[in-house]
Amino acid sequence: MRYKTILAVLGVNHFQEDLKNAIAVSQSIEAHLSTVIIAMAAPPPGGSYAEVISTAWLEERQGDIDKLAEQAGKAKEMLKASGLSFDVQDIYTEFAWADEDVADRALYADLTLVGRQAGQDGDLFKRILDGALFQSPAPLLYNPTDQAANLAPRSVLVAWNSRMEVARAVQQALPALQAAGEVHVTLIDPVATTYASGEEPGADVATYLARHGVPVAVDVLSSAGRPIDEVLKQHAVDVGAELLVMGAYSHSRLRERIFGGVTRSMFETARLPIFCSH
């Protein structure tokens, strides 16, 4: 399998860096780049002053729509200069529906890209994750850096925990893993059982990857009481990882929202591209 269609989701206010990096990724694998630029409408006025300010609110919405069309034109010019096969869609939507708009377009992509600029818009990023991770089959590649992600990385860290989410991410990341110089399947505090990690934790997934020609090594680490995300980030530095592959939200989103979780922490603090699936 190759990534033939890449979806880049961009915010209307700041997207030049994200689009530049998406173009570089698509050029590196000769993929079609489908680009979606999203503007979320301001909520309508309420209360006793609604009638008074409704005109101003409508003018604001029209200004947002005009800006969206202008930004879409700029994106098209950047893409025309790239030599890629591409398409551009601009979407003016409500916060409550933005995830569905992303999901509708991710249905027809092999990989969804989200860059640093979109990630810095908290409301937009939340809706992108809800749509791309939970309502579409495509994996998501979040790049919090200012450089294009490398789909032929020198080193990859796979955060393995024997759950379905990371198993799916590993399968969907195979093109990048096969092109990598080395892949570190990393287990933290694994428990050797026949029904979870196996009697030799990491051996089964390493065998699976080796059959696909992936240069794999298994790293079993002790957390020594440290948070899992901190151990992963430090090991990524130690092995010079250029890509992290992990499952997203193995626990419920509500639980992670209340108590925190590895997925949430990695999205907020990681300094390397994250390839993930749910």
Domains in the chain (CATH in brackets) are 5-142 (3.40.50.620), 155-277 (3.40.50.620)
Within 8 A by CB and 6+ apart from 248, the residues are 133, 140, 165, 169, 263, 276, 277, 278
Do residues 84 and 112 lie in contact, with contact meaning Cβ atoms separated by under 8 Å? no
Partnered with residue 142 across adjacent β-strands are: 114, 274
Per-residue pLDDT of the chain (278 residues; tens, 9 = 90+): 689 999 999 999 999 999 999 999 999 999 999 999 999 987 776 655 555 567 777 888 888 899 999 999 999 999 999 999 999 999 999 988 999 999 999 999 999 999 999 999 999 999 999 999 999 999 999 999 999 999 999 999 999 999 999 999 999 999 999 999 999 999 999 975 455 555 788 999 999 999 999 999 999 999 999 999 999 999 999 999 999 999 987 655 544 453 348 888 999 999 999 999 98
CA 256, 258, 264, 269 dihedral sign is negative
How far is the first Cα of the chain from the last one, in angstroms, to the nearest whole number? 19
Nearest to 19 by CA among 128, 114, 152, 153: 114
DSSP state at residue 22: H
**The pTM is what?**
0.90
